[in-house]
């Protein structure tokens, strides 16, 4: 069973990349984030194409912003949209959908960005994560929480910790919130499999960040121990970030029970750019 997660940063814009990618990689379950489409618009745009490939779809969308989906060809039962008890900003946002696929409870989540440390949106992010933890704590033994967490778990998950001083995604409170979620018994699948490797999933569109491999690992697959024990491969599909019209995120792929492409990874294809000297590069948004 192949499970993937991908922040597509607009399903409408990514159709020319998404459909060929599905045909190439043949995932059984796909969690999408930032679809930026209301449910009806998503169905109109992609419903027939996905059905012809054997996928059923669970959606929680909204026009223009946010939006999550689960595509599955191994069953899609007990669908729940949203996170019970989660705050809004100010209204509830389309940031989570869950369903049981192939006997595994799967959550596709798009964690709030946080914007600026200690801002209202930052505190919204922390409260939203706490509510997600409450929901996940009631999951069955076999569960996966995956998506754009908008948190780099450790300094090893950014190209240069110095570049992120004063930024969101790396603060102690955000990392503590992620640690609390993992404390429910969730394993960081990619990092567990590749504990010392340089692995990123997101690269800013600006300033040639992708070509220099100046990225962050913020798209995660977290699973319970029973699912983690079935992992045979876990990797970032960097190929999907290359070429024309890509998302600024790459898909993360996890193979359970068997690995059709072998135990490849952690990043496919690997970047050629060397690691930069610490403190030598600023983020595009930095003054």
- Domain ranges in the chain are 2-268
d(CA 114, CA 35): 19
Quick: pLDDT tens for 125-168: 999 999 999 999 999 999 999 999 999 999 999 999 999 999 99
Q: At what angle do helices 11-25 and 39-52 cross, to 10 degrees?
A: 20
pLDDT at 60: 98
* Mean pLDDT, range 200-208, rounded to an integer: 96
Banded model confidence at residue 286, pLDDT cuts 50, 70, 90: low
Banded model confidence at residue 277, pLDDT cuts 50, 70, 90: confident
Question: % helix / strand / coil in the chain, to the nearest 5?
Answer: 30, 25, 50
Give the distance from CA 40 to its chain's centroid. 23
pLDDT at 201: 98
Annotation: CATH topology of 2-268: Deoxyribonuclease I; Chain A (3.60.10)
Do 135 and 143 meet the contact criterion of CB atoms below 8 Å apart? no
pLDDT at 287: 56
Of 251, 104, 136, the C-alpha closest to 128 is 136
Do 90 and 52 meet the contact criterion of CB atoms below 8 Å apart? no
pTM of the full predicted structure? 0.97
For a pLDDT cut of 90, what percent of the chain falls above it? 94
d(CA 86, CA 102): 27
pLDDT at 274: 86
Burial class (CB in 10 A: 0-12, 13-18, 19+), 239: middle
Do 268 and 20 meet the contact criterion of CB atoms below 8 Å apart? no
For a pLDDT cut of 70, what percent of the chain falls above it? 99
Quick: pLDDT tens for 12-66: 999 999 999 999 999 999 999 999 999 999 999 999 999 999 999 999 999 999 9
Quick: pLDDT tens for 52-74: 999 999 999 999 999 999 999 99
């Amino acid at each position: 069973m192949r499970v993937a997660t991908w922040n597509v940063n607009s399903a409408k814009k990514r159709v020319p990349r998404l459909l060929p990618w599905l045909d190439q990689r043949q995932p059984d379950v796909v969690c999408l984030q930032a679809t930026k489409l209301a449910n009806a618009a998503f169905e109109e745009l992609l419903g027939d194409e996905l059905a012809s490939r054997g996928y059923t779809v669970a959606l929680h969308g909204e026009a223009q912003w946010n939006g999550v989906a689960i595509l599955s060809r191994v069953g899609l039962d007990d669908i729940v949209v949203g996170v019970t008890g989660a705050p809004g900003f100010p209204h509830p946002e389309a940031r989570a959908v869950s369903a049981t696929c192939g006997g595994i409870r799967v959550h596709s989540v798009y964690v709030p960005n946080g914007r600026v440390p200690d801002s209202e949106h930052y505190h919204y992010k922390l409260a939203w994560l706490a509510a997600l933890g409450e929901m996940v704590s009631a999951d069955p033994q076999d569960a996966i929480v995956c998506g754009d967490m908008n948190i780099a778990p450790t300094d090893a998950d950014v190209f240069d910790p110095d570049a992120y001083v004063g930024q969101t995604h790396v603060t102690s409170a955000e990392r503590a919130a992620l640690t609390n979620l993992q404390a429910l018994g969730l394993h960081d699948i990619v990092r567990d499999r590749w504990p010392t490797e340089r692995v990123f999933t997101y690269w800013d569109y600006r300033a040639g960040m992708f070509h220099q491999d100046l990225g962050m690992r913020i798209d995660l697959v977290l699973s319970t121990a029973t699912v983690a024990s079935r992992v045979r491969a876990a990797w970032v599909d960097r190929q999907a970030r290359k070429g024309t019209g890509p998302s600024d995120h790459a898909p993360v792929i996890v193979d359970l029970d068997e690995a059709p492409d072998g135990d490849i990874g952690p990043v496919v294809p690997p970047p050629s750019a060397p690691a930069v000297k610490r403190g030598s590069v600023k983020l595009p948004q930095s003054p």
